[in-house]
Amino acid sequence: MQDIYQRAKRIRLAIFDVDGVLTDGSLYFTDSGEELKAFNVRDGHGMKMLQNSGIRLAIITSRRSRCVEQRAKNLGIDLLYQGVSDKLVKFRELLAELGLDAAATAYMGDDVIDLPVLRNCGLALTVPEAPAIVKTHAHYISRAPGGRGAAREVCELMLQAQGALDAQIAPYLESPT
């Protein structure tokens, strides 16, 4: 776990996949063909705490969905990349654009399409439902399932490693006046 905290201390950009990470991986379609996804509010709050501590957030997903665009907007995530077939190319472009080294990035993905980024980022994160091959390339596997607290768990891990978790929680512990 010490290695994970050392890696987490360096993180300046946290990148998340969507299906299977920010959602449970289920796809819902209305009769009219509109896609629906369920997002966990606690995952979102963890992501906001990361932002508030100075860590940038990004989403890289292979699918396109208006509800992902809306969720990113709700969370204030301006680095949203949908319909990405080669996530490693987008990852490298993002590093160049932000002037970051790969060691300063965390990536949370759950399937083989995520392996190229997981193998090149500073902190590779996945969920318990991920295929075995993905788990073997992750530095950390969340205890919570995708779409059910996994993102919150890794956000708190990064905040704890950087000594910022207490500061993010403190406003909620203040006594009423």
Do the strands 105-108 and 35-36 form a parallel or antiparallel pair, or are they unpaired?
unpaired
Structure tokens at 49: 């705490």
Does residue 1 register a pLDDT over 90?
Answer: no
Residue 172 CB-density burial (10 A; 0-12 exposed, 13-18 middle, 19+ buried): exposed
CB of 62 within 8 A of CB of 81?
Answer: no
pLDDT recorded at residue 128: 98
pLDDT tens, residue by residue, 89-118: 999 999 999 999 999 999 999 999 999 999
Q: Which helix (H) or strand (E) holds 151?
A: helix 150-161
What fold characterizes domain 2-165? Rossmann fold (3.40.50)
Does residue 176 register a pLDDT over 90?
Answer: no
**Type of residue numbered 25:** G
Sequence ranges of the domains in the chain: 2-165
Of 49, 107, 114, which is closest to residue 87 (Cα–Cα)?
Answer: 114
pLDDT recorded at residue 127: 98
Q: What are phi and psi of 52, to 5 degrees?
A: -65, -20
Find the mean pLDDT for residues 50-61: 98
* d(C-alpha 17, C-alpha 109), whole Å: 5
DSSP string, 54-74: T-EEEEE-SS--HHHHHHHHH
pLDDT band at 174 (very low <50, low <70, confident <90, very high): confident
Residue 70 CB partners (closer than 8 Å, separation 6+): none
pLDDT recorded at residue 13: 98
pLDDT recorded at residue 23: 97
pLDDT tens, residue by residue, 4-23: 999 999 999 999 999 999 99
Does residue 71 register a pLDDT over 80?
Answer: yes
The beta strands (E) that lie in 2-146 are given as 13-16, 28-29, 35-36, 56-60, 79-81, 105-108, 123-126, 140-141
Find the mean pLDDT for residues 67-86: 97
pLDDT band at 177 (very low <50, low <70, confident <90, very high): low
pLDDT tens, residue by residue, 130-167: 999 999 999 999 999 999 999 999 999 999 999 999 99
pTM summary value:
0.95
Of 13, 17, 8, which is closest to residue 97 (Cα–Cα)?
Answer: 13
**Type of residue numbered 31:** D
pLDDT recorded at residue 21: 98
